Amino acid sequence: MPHLKPPEVKEQQAARSMKRFDHRTVIVTGGARGMGAAHARGFVAEGANVVIADLLEKEGRTLADELGDQAIFSRLDVTSDRDWAATVAAAEHVFGPVSVLVNNAGIVRFGPIAETEPAVWRQVIDINLTGTYLGIRAVVSSMRKAGGGAIVNISSAGGMMAYPNTAAYVASKWGARGLTKTAALELGRDNIRVNSIHPGPVRTPMTAGPDATAAVAAQARHLAIPRVAEPEEITQMVLFVASDEAGFSTGSEFIVDGGVLLGPAPPYERAEAAVA
């Protein structure tokens, strides 16, 4: 092994200590709990400065305090362009131009189409789809100032297929997928990448209600990987897609669904060793 001079040693040590998002500004919507909180923790661990954007002020501020100087909370209703402008301004004021946006905020409502009230439909579409559009629109100028960036839209396996009794949710997630591709085409020359992530069943507060818990558990039993994912497993994909490691990917779907899109797994029978 060749002898390393002191400057070379220092360079290698510096390279090893660098993290994927050192000094970058990240906004995570729905960041106060569930997957969003896991994403915020993951980015901070990778050196980022994170804006936890949510309507849940108590939980969001508690998480920001836990994460220390690398995190702040900003109250954000994702359906409000005024709130979006204030959140981006807060991010720039405290940390500098935005490099990463994770459009994670979302809701689900259950019921057949014939029994879904128009107000419920509009609420789901406004948060899951219009909120994503407003987020992209709000950060473009800041990302241009940063020299580029990455936008990660959290869609769903339901953005690749149909689920019964969740028409508004499925429509919103298919819409987010299409929006992702159009934004990727428009923003690529600004060095801004836009991709979507499609989780399967995940253990979060959104899936903790009685209707959701039963539906998620039933789905998980038939997966190739027959369990519900933990939020941190989705975070690992988010970090990869937002990082320079995925620098040649834009307008793409990244699937992390335990095999939902494969269809139901066949019954599993352990093969017994043959007896001589």
Angle subtended at Cα 117 by Cα 115 and Cα 118, rounded to the nearest 5 degrees:
135
In whole angstroms, what is the distance from residue 83 CA to residue 78 CA? 7
In angstroms, the Cα distances linking 61 to 67, 115, 182 are 10, 37, 34
The residues facing 29 across adjacent strands are 53
H-run or E-run covering 206: none
Contact in structure between 27 and 88 (CB atoms under 8 Å): yes
Angle subtended at Cα 143 by Cα 256 and Cα 145, rounded to the nearest 5 degrees:
160
Q: Is 268 a catalytic residue?
A: no
CA 112 to chain centre: 27
The residue annotated as part of the active site, out of 133, 163, 169, 268, is 169
Q: What's at 248, amino acid-wise?
A: F
Active site residues: 169
